[in-house]
Chains A and B, each alone.
Chain A
């Protein structure tokens, strides 16, 4: 997300920093660059223009032109304006009592409503609420079945009750189902009330904002269930049309919030930047993957930081807290200190990191790393291969790498679909890591703890590259070289 855009902003920053004091003309020049970058990122044209004008009028003020650090002042203004553009934060979702709180989903075809229903159900479930999800998309073939599977997947995770309501026999061919959805919604609401669900989520058919009949159906759905919250799902990769359609949905339905799907793509995030300004509805969530957990709350402040390459450490820490169990971490660091760190532990750690999301996404949250990463191939597939290799080893081999001989290496490489070189490389790198760990293990006090933390990061994540140094000596990086051979 925001890829490319970040680099452009940092280039601008560097240019301005090199200029000593700022004049109106070099601010204008910089803003022309910014405008192009925004348009290339699919920011709505009107929004891009007004944004640049606002920055301009502040940036030519005395504070900036007199400043000894004009680049920083300028970026500061841009940051503040970006936050204003995307903010304020949507605030918490308040549930009504008595329940159920009714959430109505809407959006264009293929925007990701059904998958998002599952993620929202999971979001509520994790917060201890019981959720009923109903399939009011009777139009697209097998949409009901799709939602059912998605919801059952969430329900299977246990905890609070999550259930599905669907009436596949109500489905009809295109255009003939209008109206039927309202009946399904009514019955779902009755069921949610009777069975005392906290939340009712209604999935609806995708529709064009210019399709009057279907937009009216949406309105009657809304009226029939008196939804407390209407959420618009929008594809993060949408171009200039994003705000056109969002605006139309908003006008018809008074949308309470927007969810941007497919935010884990390499979208530059134009829709994310524009949608609040144009519709007035806040961006509440972003979808960052296909699994139920892949939904994040959107924070304008943090997003602005990411866009400008300032990273998003807050989100990173939050994710780490979700992924890493405390006891696990403690046990692991004890093992390291005592030199008992085996390949098995390494694998465990690798998995932990991966629970936090795709590598590139995680690293992108570190300040300055986002732009440094843009050129690097941070392929999660390489981690897959490390996992596969370790997975193909016997328990004995994992505990004691010294027992590996030619034939064992061969077996492991065939078993994991890699080359013998790959296996040897992994063994070598891991051996080095173990040795270093033992050395650190002898150190005492605070220095040791810090060193341990570093080791942990280097071992599992392939090393966090920092600005200026994109090379790492980690196993993951080692494989990369070999692969490009």
Chain B
């Protein structure tokens, strides 16, 4: 039932897929492979932030198939890569968890400026359009203007919000929000949190605390903990995923800002090394700009990555 909310969004990665026909297509289309082309494939993967290791592994398997004669044409190579990358990053379910008994609690975390608050607005919007009742919790009481920012979104979207004063204890905001969510019988409670660097250990501990406040108030909560990753980020996102998982038990990734030229390839490494699936992608600044993650079109878009300059 809940799933249909996301189904409504299923329009494919329109914007990012536009990049298709980019470099890799041009490189591989209608051509027989050779060693130089395979090297170029590796460079393209690196420029999409897949990481040296994953890029090497992916091309190694391609090279092996090529040597064995099982992959000869450019098109075969694309298919092969698509499968290999999908297996790494999209093997797991991308559906958002739903609590057996409402409310479902979704906790949104991430480093500064990645797009947490906007992503919360996007999720709220899509839930609303599928008829769910939503409550927002403004647990970023630290950054200047953060509460106001989420409040403006709540007004624009017509959803309720629970907030404390700037500088209030985020745990108490979360506590109040959990109580309100139960009392008002809402379907989903969405918690926005302050941006923090994964290296700031005391702030990471604060996240653990927020989690346990939710747990105590609502059995099984948070049912989903989404780590927002900026698609422009490089290999450091792996550390983000590791440390946020440790502190907050990340269950899925919201890949934001995929509407730029960055390809977000680092989620391939994250999916592969840590088994955390991407669940949603953000493709703009309005509440409509969110889509369920579709591994196949993601890979297509990624392989269309333009070569970096210099």
Q: Which residues of A contact B (CB under 8 A)?
A: 36, 39-42, 44-47, 50, 108-112, 139-150, 153, 173-175, 208-210, 235, 237-245, 247, 262, 264-268, 270-271, 274, 277-278, 290, 379-381, 384
Contacts and interface: CB of A to CB of B under 8 A. Distances in A.
Given A108-B232, A109-B285, A146-B149, A380 B202 contact: yes
B113 A111 contact: yes
A245 B232 contact: yes
A71 to B, nearest CB: 24
B286 interface: yes
Interface in B256-278: 257, 259-263, 265-266
A141 B152 contact: yes
B11 interface: no
Interface residues of B, number: 51
B309 A247 contact: yes
Nearest to A238: B232
7 contacts: A46-B309, A108-B232, A174-B285, A235-B113, A240-B262, A243-B308, A244-B308
B47 interface: yes
A110 B119 CA distance: 13
B208 interface: no
Nearest to B204: A381
B71 to A, nearest CB: 24
A175 B286 CA distance: 9
B148 A239 contact: no
Nearest to A382: B201
A46 B47 CA distance: 10
Contacts of A381: 201-202, 205
A469 B192 CA distance: 43
Nearest to B202: A381
Contacts of A144: 145
A456 B144 CA distance: 37
Contacts of B239: 266
Given A141-B148, A238-B234, A265 B261 contact: no
Nearest to B228: A110
A142 B152 contact: yes
A292 to B, nearest CB: 12
Interface stretch (B48-56, B92-100, B127-135): B48-56
Contacts of A237: 111, 230, 233-234, 236-237
B112 interface: yes
Interface centre among A45, A142, A209 (most CB of B within 10 A): A142
Interface in B82-122: 111-115
Contacts of B201: 379-381
B143 A110 contact: no
B44 to A, nearest CB: 10
B260 A150 contact: no
Interface centre among A41, A141, A235, A266 (most CB of B within 10 A): A141
A135 to B, nearest CB: 10
B259 A208 contact: yes
A261 B131 CA distance: 40
Contacts of B111: 237, 262, 265
Given A245-B260, A270-B234, A146 B143 contact: yes
A112 B111 CA distance: 11
B156 interface: yes
A144 B149 CA distance: 10
A245 B266 CA distance: 18
A239 B202 CA distance: 27
B197 interface: yes
Contact of A264 (B115, B197, B260): B197
Given A110-B113, A238-B234, 5 more contacts: A141-B152, A142-B151, A145-B148, A174-B285, A175-B286
